[in-house]
Every structure is written in structure tokens, then in C-alpha cells.
Chain A
């Protein structure tokens, strides 16, 4: 079953709006990664987080590693049409042999 709960499942927003999505788990993670996937393409890494409480930005994107190590959020400010796609969180537990556990994805749709 899904070990990471990612929400929301989809978002319809206006261009220029801010976006927020998050992932939670009952397990502790050592690494949180946020990926974006365009249709028919492989996921592309947006932000990687390695320490509890860490807040990292990449342009208009900001992500945080939760203090409890069980959650992470991703914010996108002033959304633009090319932000459309599916955003996945992925986490790695200690002693996992570097295997990633994935959220179900958040589909971002921008209303014209």
C-alpha cells in the first residue's frame, strides 16, 4: 500500500496563483525529494531535502523537510503555464538501500 500520502490529488488554479502540496507518512524519512513529470517523460528532480527543518528554494519553488521527519511540502509561487504537470514526492528511509518510496502525485492544471 501507499506509504506516502500526497495531497491534493489534483489542483485547478489560475495563472499567477500560489500552489501548495504536501506529503505525509507514519514513517520517518532521511531524504525527501520532489519531482515533476511531464506526460510521457521521466520525472525530473526539482528539490532535494536532507535535514529535518531544512527549507530549500529553486526559483519559484520552495520545499521544506518537516521537523518530525514524517512530512514535506512544496510551494510554487506565481504559477505559470509551464508549471502544468504531475508533481511527485519521494522519500528514502534509513537502511532502505537507497530505494525511493513515492507519493501518488499531484496533478497541476492551470485554468486558461
Chain B
């Protein structure tokens, strides 16, 4: 199985900050990577797929990059509604796997 590792596990930031979250795959997954946002008590929300394609309706302050084994999610200017937990997911091969999550907290 492909293991996904996110870093950091948690990060504190302020409104307006630029934040980058990293996701590393245990083997190459080409660009088969998605990012999701989850708020407490809610279902995950689909943000980015194919490593860098923004899902319709997602604000342009979110961006993704990377290929192979190393990927990043960047939020260019944090808004209050962005404080949540973020997960990466590999879609290269079954079983699909998620990273352990990165909790983005208000500083």
C-alpha cells in the first residue's frame, strides 16, 4: 500500500498569512493526488485534484503543486473560514490512502 505522510501535523497561523502544507507519498503516484478540507463535525470538502487542478467553486487562494512523491497545498492569504484540517489522498492505486491530516489553527 502507498503510505501518505503530511507535514506538519498542525500549524498555527494568522488571517492573511501564507501557509504551505506538504504531503509525501511512499512511492511515485505521478499526479494522482487530491486535497480535502474538513471542519469539525462536517464531511470533507473536495478542494484540488490531479495535484494542481482547483475544483469548481474553490477560492483561488488555494493552490496545489507537485508530482511523483512530493506535493504541496498552499493557501496564499488565510481567511477565517480556512481554519480546518486538511488531508491529502493518493488516487494512483488501490487501496486509496489518505495522509494523517494537518490541523490549521488560529494563532
> Is chain B a partner of chain A in the same complex?
no
Report B's interface with A, CB cutoff 8 A. none
Interface residues of A, Cβ cutoff 8 Å to B: none
